[in-house]
Structure 1
Amino acid sequence: MTNKNIIKLLPYQKPFLFVDGIDTVSEHGITGHYTFKKDESFYKGHFKDNPITPGVILTECMAQIGLVCLGIYLMKDELNESIKPQIALTSHQIDFYLPVLPNEKVTVISEKEVFRFNKMKCKVKLFNEKDELVCRGNISGMIQIPAKAGISDSKNQ
């Protein structure tokens, strides 16, 4: 599975897609990047006359790259254009150190800690263009593959 295929399988689209590219991916982790464009809608009100990227958006960027893209890679044998994953964030704990400004490129580095029974936990870090640590923490989530059409659930029989 190529890096572009991973991005195509993401269950997001603009304006809520925060992945421009994947730099490296393996069974152990992933590195990817995103540039926060100056015309992103959240800058209009966060903050008045001093736009910075909200922490919840930075967390989402880390989750999309560090958890979802990695999960898609790890489940690559079960996914394709017609079978896309369903994602649920289950927990996160993030510490923030620096702001991210409009037009700033960030890099997310994620290390897989656990991936078992479709639940994954990762250590994530987000760096700015100066290679300064912006935020870091842990993100966990569930990655499910939808039931195939025509196959009924045994509980419903």
Structure 2
Amino acid sequence: MTETTGVKLPIEVREILTILPHRYPLVMVDRVTELVPGERIAGHKCVAYNEPWFQGHFPAHPIMPGVLIIESMVQIGGLLAHASDPAPGPQPKVVLFLGIDKARFRRPVVPGDRLDLSATALQRRGPVWKLRGEARVDGNLCAEAEMLAQVADRSP
């Protein structure tokens, strides 16, 4: 556990799967390495050549689709929102993606890259979060966006 937050790090993929509703092949966060509830989170996704989207995007020059880089940032932001507002009672919560603004792609992500993900809370109004996400490889910015997410009751 970190002394300042009481959160045990790293958070591995098995625990991430208990929080996110996503499953293979759309689990886009392998590990959480930093977490300050209500403020910021960091983690990563290891990009492997055998991921299914590389068969068609693009066979001779594999590049991770931009929409999946955005999805990675959304998922790490969802983990921040979830950790900042843990569900009391028996009903588990889910984080819903509401929107995206100011998305920009700066460089391609290719097999073998470790996609370093981060999200920072910009604003919170009740269950709705406005987050800024970044994706980097080797310290170089690959993508950035502002995202809206909501913590909601999970349907039975």
Output the TM-score relative to the length of structure 1.
0.83
Counterpart residue identity of residue 136, structure 2: F
Counterpart residue identity of residue 112, structure 1: A
Q: Measure how far apart 1:104 and its partner are.
A: 1.1
> Share of identical aligned residues, percent?
21
Q: C-alpha root-mean-square deviation of aligned residues, in Å? A: 1.9
1 CA distance for matches of 2:92 and 2:117? 23
Counterpart residue identity of residue 144, structure 2: R
Q: 1:97 to 1:16 in 2, by over 3 A?
A: same
Matched positions, count = 144
Asked whether 1:114 is paired with 2:114, we answer: no
User: Residue 88 of structure 1 is aligned with which of 93, 96, 106?
Assistant: 96
Counterpart residue identity of residue 39, structure 2: H
User: Residue 55 of structure 2 is aligned with which of 44, 50, 66?
Assistant: 44
Question: Which residue of 2 is the match for residue 125 of structure 1?
Answer: 134
2 CA distance for matches of 1:84 and 1:142? 14
Asked whether 1:135 is paired with 2:143, we answer: yes
Asked whether 1:22 is paired with 2:21, we answer: no
Counterpart residue identity of residue 70, structure 1: L
1 CA distance for matches of 2:54 and 2:70? 16
1 CA distance for matches of 2:63 and 2:83? 31
Asked whether 1:76 is paired with 2:86, we answer: yes
Q: Which has the larger radius of gyration?
A: 1
Question: Which residue of 1 is the match for residue 4 of structure 2?
Answer: none
Question: Which residue of 2 is the match for residue 155 of structure 1?
Answer: none
Q: Measure how far apart 1:145 and its partner are.
A: 2.1
1 CA distance for matches of 2:91 and 2:16? 12
The CA deviation string for residues 20-73 of structure 1, in whole angstroms up to 9 with x for no partner, is 1001111211001111111111000011311100000000000001x2100110
Output the TM-score relative to the length of structure 2.
0.84
User: Residue 107 of structure 2 is aligned with which of 98, 123, 148?
Assistant: 98
Question: Unpaired runs of 5+ in structure 2?
Answer: 1-6
1 CA distance for matches of 2:113 and 2:80? 23
Between structures 1 and 2, the one with greater strand share: 2
Counterpart residue identity of residue 114, structure 1: Q
